[in-house]
Structure 1
């Protein structure tokens, strides 16, 4: 079972203690565990909308797509590129924006096969995503929360993974140990290019993110992983579409054209960037 240990109250940042089926802080704030074992640490006052993050329907689509293992090469790329010195027994990993838990679950299985233990925590702003994740892998601490205000003490993790998510670098730096790593996984210029050509009249020029670097972090290595996969039904195509931003950005004509297809071969083009947390500068008087 997950431990749900060493977490902070999202209201006053004091330590949380597990008492039976609730997490409590000294100020009297209480957060009950759901039946499946996750805990919601996103207070109402920190929500920007009534139901933030992925909807229930989007989570179902994402589960259906990812369970077919089309994106397993991304898992392999993460593990093969993980700086060796930083992958050790007891490594503390946060998946910040973990969705329905596919990547953290698969990473856990792979590490177990290598006889490497890891303490894994998955956080997402969508309660639907975390509810689904908590049924997938009981050995992970699953949290509803926000990257903008991680409910954890300083130096809590050795590695923060942000896969196709919304990074908040100041919070990632705070939550990482002094020797901590950050992994950003993002779409490359040709990611799902065949799909985008159907959905849009023109393809926007690719602009790499964080080209000038990331404050508080030093780039260690960058890796590109490219592979192709086939979707063999209209249902599979729609599941993929509904888990991407294209669902809301594409034109009506583009979405209608996509409905005419029964299969499609797609390119996955993924960028992985590993960063090392910079040491704090000491001011000598």
Structure 2
């Protein structure tokens, strides 16, 4: 992938642009706030005052389980579909070294989907960054790396206050995440693409039938956010067979069901040595509206 460094960060304290030091060991703003690059290559841009707990986000154990599960290729068809959607948009934008497609993964976890995107991009110029509120997830992403030049930017941050400059991003990914649409709108360029990836009604139903005494009715779909133009949705559906207790345990550990399920339900899941589950995922692309005068149009 012809890669270009993502340098459109802003100070999480006062919103001023951040600039790297001469040797790239720290980033600072004009107001004197400075943030060191960790030895693993990531930035922590989540100030204490923006944390709701001492160690927010996924735990080290959850991140480890997700890394093992995803690196086994179980969600590779989903990752491929997400990458194809981004690269279709890249083709429309005529990317180049001077005009790379800037992609931001909001809630990147341990970086699996960004890695798949980078590996899928043969000729398109990309400028890629990923962040997560979990320092353990970002640490894992940075350690695994993405490209030989190490130009992918990893940082710890929250969707509630994204430390990225206004209108500087072409594509925002939100994969099984917690969207904050006003922030997504702010960082996206006019006409930019937001890709929402959410579980469908049948997603992991077989696992849910094991761990819960009954399956609750599906909640009605939420209306699409304002100021976005809805694009044709995509759906990824296939059966997935887990052939060991460790694989089933990893799947459970990387989902919210780890905390929601009753103890006896988790015990039933942990006693299984094989389980076939349905992967049912909705991919909804949304284009940011372009305001022209008083009227709102679309690109």
Checking the alignment, whether the CA contact within 8 Å between 2:101 and 2:126 is kept in structure 1 is yes
Give a deviation string over 1:98-138, Cα, whole Å, max 9, x none: 000000011100013xx222111001101100001011223
Number of aligned residue pairs = 281
1:71 CA displacement:
0.1
1:230 CA displacement:
1.4
In the superposition, the TM-score normalised over structure 1's length comes to 0.94
Return the match for 1:128 from 128, 136, 149: 136
1:37 CA displacement:
1.0
2: CA distance, partners of 1:265 / 1:215: 38
Q: Report SS of the residue matched to 1:280.
A: strand
Q: Report SS of the residue matched to 1:160.
A: strand
1: CA distance, partners of 2:27 / 2:180: 25
Counterpart position of 1:116? 124
Return the match for 2:270 from 235, 247, 259: 259
Checking the alignment, whether the CA contact within 8 Å between 1:4 and 1:18 is kept in structure 2 is no
1: CA distance, partners of 2:137 / 2:86: 26
1: CA distance, partners of 2:282 / 2:173: 13
2: CA distance, partners of 1:85 / 1:37: 29
| Aligned ranges 1:153-232 → 2 under 5 Å | 153-210=165-222, 212-232=223-243
1:280 CA displacement:
2.5
Change in CA separation of 1:209 and 1:44 when aligned onto 2, cut-off 3 Å: farther
Return the match for 1:37 from 31, 36, 41: 41
2: CA distance, partners of 1:234 / 1:101: 25
2: CA distance, partners of 1:195 / 1:249: 13
Counterpart position of 2:28? 24
Checking the alignment, whether the CA contact within 8 Å between 2:4 and 2:125 is kept in structure 1 is no
Counterpart position of 1:71? 75
Gaps of 5+ in 1: none
Return the match for 1:62 from 66, 83, 90: 66
1: CA distance, partners of 2:57 / 2:279: 24
1: CA distance, partners of 2:4 / 2:249: 34
2: CA distance, partners of 1:60 / 1:97: 16
Change in CA separation of 1:106 and 1:201 when aligned onto 2, cut-off 3 Å: same
In the superposition, the TM-score normalised over structure 2's length comes to 0.90
1: CA distance, partners of 2:110 / 2:191: 28
2: CA distance, partners of 1:86 / 1:170: 24
Counterpart position of 1:11? 13
Matched, 1:107 2:117: yes
Gaps of 5+ in 2: none
Matched, 1:52 2:60: no
